[in-house]
Amino acid sequence: MSSPKIRRADRAMSKERALETLAQGYSGHLATVSEDGFPYCIPLLYLWMSGELYVHTTSARGHLRANIENEPLFDVPVFADPYPAE
């Protein structure tokens, strides 16, 4: 499956900047879409380590797991400190 075209590709975040943002942040939201097309969004705590994203969630069956099993694409807006300590 290919990704959809970005409407404003000139404003897209570079891969390097995206990785920096993940490294600086620690929380965000995890947004999925249900089988019947409804959005589902939950708060998310995460850890970015060795190039992998680890999320704090549950293994219990519920809306999130059902949505990801139905449609594995999801969105994770991340909140990062705009003034990280140096």
Between the alpha carbon of residue 58 and those of residues 13, 22, 42, 64, the distances in Å are: 30, 21, 12, 9
- Give all domains of the chain, ordered by start, each with its CATH number: 14-80 (2.30.110.10)
Query: Distance (Å, rounded) from C-alpha 48 to C-alpha 28?
Result: 12
pTM score, whole prediction: 0.65
Mean pLDDT of 39-61: 86
2-25 per-position pLDDT tens digit = 667 878 888 888 889 888 888 888
Q: Which of 3-7, 30-34, 53-57, 59-63 has the highest mean pLDDT?
A: 30-34
What token pair was written down for 34?
A: 């249900």
pLDDT reading at 85 higher than 80: no
